[in-house]
C-alpha cells in the first residue's frame, strides 16, 4: 500500500477539479432540471460493488467513507456532491496504489475519445 | 420549425427536454474507475450492473406506504412494531434479499421507531452514513455530512429547528444511531386533518424527511425540506 498522506494532491484530479464541469454548472448552462448527474447511480453501484468485495477490496466501507469526508472537507471542498464523492473515491484508489496516475490519465483519454467518437 | 424534410408521419413539434450536450470529466472519471476496478478483478461488470439497477429503483415510496398502512390498519401497525422485516415485505421490500442476488453484508436488523405525543425519533449514522436504503432509497446529501451526523447527536432540537421542526419541551427527542448491523426508520404520528383519507392520500404526505424524523407529516406538504447544508468547520491546527 502506498503511504501517501491522504491530503496530498494528485495532478490528474486537480485538473478535473479546475475544469469545473460540475453538475450544477452543467444544469445552468443547458437548462436541465435533474438534481443529480446521470452517472450518480452508476457511482452508487461502483461503491456498493467495492464495499461488497471486502475479501479483495483494498479499502473497507468505513475507510472509504471516512476518507470521503476528510477529502471533501479539505482538497475537494470546492466540489459539490456527488462530484466530491467520486473524486474522493478516485483519490483513495490512487493513494492505495489500486490504480496509478499514469494509467488513469491514459484511460481518461481513451474513454473521452470513445464517448466523443 | 418545419419537419417536413423527411417522409414519416410522427410529430416532431413536441417539446424536447433540454439535455447536457457535453461530456464532463466526472462522467469520464466514473467510467474510468469502474473499468479499471473490473479489470483488476475487484468486482465484475455483472455485479456492478445489478447494484446500479438496484440504486436506480430504490426510493422512499415503500416506507411511506408502510406507514400509511399502519395508520389505517391496527393489525398491520402491530406487525410493523413487532416484525419490521415482515411489514416491509408487505410493501414489497425484502430486507434479507434486497438486491435479488444474495444477502448484502451491511445490515442484519431493521426496526421501525414509533413516535408518540411525548416521544419523537430521528435517525442518524454518527459513524458514517448507514441508512435504510432498501425501504427509503439513497440518503439525501445532508444526511451524509459530518455536520449533521455530529450535531444531531449533541444538539438535536437545534438541528431539527434548522429543518423547520420546532418541538415543544414536553416532547422527548430520541436520536437513534444506525450502524452496519442496525437500520431504523421513523413512524410519525398521523396528523389531524387527514380523517377519512385513503392510503394513497396518506402516503403522499409521508415524505422521506418524515421517515428520517426531521419533519412531521402535514396535509398539503408533499416535498422534503432542503436545509442549508453548512460545511463542517475544521479545527485549526498549529
**Interface predicted TM-score (ipTM) of this complex, two decimals:** 0.95
Which of these ranges, A30-39, B35-44, B204-213, has the smallest mean pLDDT? A30-39
Catalytic residue among B125, B168, B178, B210: B125
pTM: 0.80
For A100, the closest chain B residue by CA position comes to B36
pLDDT confidence tier of residue A57, bands split at 50, 70 and 90: low
Q: For residues A94 and B104, what is the distance between their CA atoms, to the nearest angstrom?
A: 27
Q: Do B52 and A44 touch (CB under 8 A)?
A: yes
| Position B1 pLDDT exceeds 50 | no
Which of these ranges, A54-63, B146-155, B205-214, B228-237, has the smallest mean pLDDT? B228-237
Percentage of chain B beyond pLDDT 70 is 84
Q: Look up the CATH architecture of domain B59-212.
A: Alpha-Beta Complex (3.90)
Q: Please list the helix, strand and coil fractions of chain A in percent, rounded to the nearest 5, in that order.
A: 60, 0, 40
Q: Which of A102, A104, A94 is nearest to A67 (CA)?
A: A94
The reply to whether B29 touches chain A by the CB within 8 Å rule is yes
Q: Which of B204, B192, B219, B206 is nearest to B112 (CA)?
A: B206
Tell the residue number behind the cell numbers 455483472, with chain if given. B46
Catalytic residue list contains B210: no
Report pLDDT for B14.
Answer: 59
Cβ proximity of B221 and B133 under 8 Å: no
Q: For residues B204 and A69, what is the distance between their CA atoms, to the nearest angstrom?
A: 33
pLDDT in tens, A63-90: 898 999 999 999 999 999 999 999 999 9
pLDDT in tens, A9-29: 999 999 999 999 999 999 999
Q: For residues B49 and A49, what is the distance between their CA atoms, to the nearest angstrom?
A: 9
Catalytic residue list contains B130: yes
pLDDT in tens, B75-128: 999 999 999 999 999 999 988 777 665 545 455 689 999 999 999 999 999 988
Q: For residues A62 and B145, what is the distance between their CA atoms, to the nearest angstrom?
A: 14
A80 CB contacts (<8 Å, ≥6 apart)? A22, A23, A24
User: Which segments of B40-132 does DSSP mark as H helices, in order?
Assistant: 45-57, 61-72, 74-82, 84-90
The reply to whether B37 touches chain A by the CB within 8 Å rule is yes
Quickly count: other Cβ atoms within 10 Å of residue B25's Cβ. Answer: 23
pLDDT in tens, B173-197: 999 998 877 899 999 999 999 999 9
Which of these ranges, B54-58, B69-73, B99-103, has the smallest mean pLDDT? B99-103
The reply to whether B100 touches chain A by the CB within 8 Å rule is no
Query: Who among B32, B127, B138 is closest to A107 (CB)?
Result: B32
Q: Which of B104, B93, B179, B149 is nearest to A45 (CA)?
A: B104
Q: For residues A28 and B82, what is the distance between their CA atoms, to the nearest angstrom?
A: 48
Cell of B16: 424536447
Extents of the domains making up chain B: 25-55, 59-212
Q: Do B26 and A86 touch (CB under 8 A)?
A: yes
Return the half-sphere exposure (C-beta side, CA atoms, 13 A cut-off) of residue A92.
Answer: 25
Catalytic residue list contains B129: yes
A14 CB contacts (<8 Å, ≥6 apart)? none
Query: Who among B20, B40, B104 is closest to A52 (CB)?
Result: B104
Cβ proximity of A91 and A99 under 8 Å: no
Check whether the bond before A82 is cis (ω within 30° of 0). yes
Within 8 A of B41 by CB-CB distance, chain A residues are 56
Extents of the domains making up chain A: 11-116
A1 CB contacts (<8 Å, ≥6 apart)? A58, A96, A97
Q: For residues B97 and B20, what is the distance between their CA atoms, to the nearest angstrom?
A: 36
Within 8 A of A42 by CB-CB distance, chain B residues are 30-31, 34, 48, 52
Cell of B199: 392510503
Q: How far is B214 from chain A (nearest CA, A)?
A: 21
| Position B7 pLDDT exceeds 60 | no
Backbone angles phi, psi at A14, to 5 degrees: -60, -40
| Position A38 pLDDT exceeds 90 | yes
Positive or negative CA dihedral for B142, B145, B147, B148? positive
Alpha-carbon dihedral angle through residues B23, B25, B28, B30, given to the nearest 10 degrees: -130
* Mean pLDDT of the residues in chain A: 90
Amino acid at each position: 500500500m502506498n503511504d501517501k498522506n491522504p491530503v496530498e494532491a494528485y495532478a490528474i484530479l486537480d485538473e478535473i477539479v479546475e475544469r469545473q464541469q460540475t453538475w450544477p454548472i452543467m444544469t445552468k448552462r443547458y437548462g436541465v432540471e435533474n438534481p443529480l448527474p446521470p452517472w450518480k447511480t452508476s457511482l452508487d453501484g461502483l461503491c456498493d460493488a467495492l464495499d461488497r468485495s471486502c475479501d479483495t477490496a483494498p479499502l473497507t466501507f468505513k475507510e472509504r467513507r471516512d476518507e470521503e469526508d476528510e477529502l471533501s472537507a479539505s482538497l475537494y471542498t470546492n466540489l459539490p456532491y456527488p462530484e466530491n464523492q467520486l473524486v474522493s473515491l478516485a483519490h483513495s484508489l490512487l493513494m492505495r496504489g489500486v490504480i496509478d496516475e499514469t494509467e488513469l490519465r491514459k484511460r481518461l483519454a481513451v474513454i473521452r475519445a470513445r464517448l466523443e467518437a | 420549425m418545419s419537419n417536413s424534410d423527411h417522409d414519416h408521419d410522427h410529430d416532431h413539434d413536441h417539446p424536447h427536454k433540454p439535455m447536457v450536450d457535453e461530456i464532463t470529466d466526472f462522467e469520464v472519471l466514473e467510467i474510468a474507475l469502474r473499468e479499471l476496478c473490473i479489470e483488476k478483478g475487484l468486482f465484475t461488470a455483472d455485479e456492478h450492473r445489478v447494484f446500479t439497477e438496484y440504486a436506480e429503483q430504490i426510493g422512499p415510496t415503500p416506507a411511506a406506504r408502510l406507514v400509511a398502512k399502519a395508520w389505517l390498519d391496527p393489525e398491520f401497525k402491530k406487525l410493523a412494531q413487532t416484525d419490521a422485516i415482515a411489514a416491509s415485505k408487505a410493501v414489497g421490500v425484502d430486507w434479507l434479499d434486497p438486491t435479488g442476488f444474495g444477502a448484502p453484508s451491511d445490515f442484519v436488523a431493521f426496526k421501525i421507531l414509533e413516535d408518540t405525543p411525548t416521544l419523537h425519533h430521528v435517525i442518524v449514522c454518527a459513524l458514517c452514513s448507514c441508512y435504510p436504503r432498501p425501504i427509503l432509497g439513497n440518503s439525501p446529501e445532508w444526511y451524509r455530512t459530518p455536520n449533521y451526523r455530529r450535531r444531531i447527536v449533541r444538539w438535536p432540537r437545534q438541528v431539527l429547528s434548522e429543518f423547520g421542526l420546532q418541538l415543544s419541551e414536553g416532547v422527548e427527542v430520541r436520536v437513534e444511531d444506525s450502524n452496519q448491523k442496525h437500520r431504523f426508520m421513523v413512524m410519525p404520528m398521523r396528523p389531524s386533518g387527514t380523517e377519512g383519507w385513503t392510503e394513497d392520500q396518506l402516503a403522499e404526505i409521508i415524505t422521506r424527511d418524515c421517515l428520517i424524523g426531521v419533519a412531521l407529516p402535514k396535509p398539503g406538504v408533499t416535498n422534503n425540506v432542503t436545509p442549508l447544508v453548512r460545511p463542517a468547520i475544521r479545527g485549526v491546527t498549529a
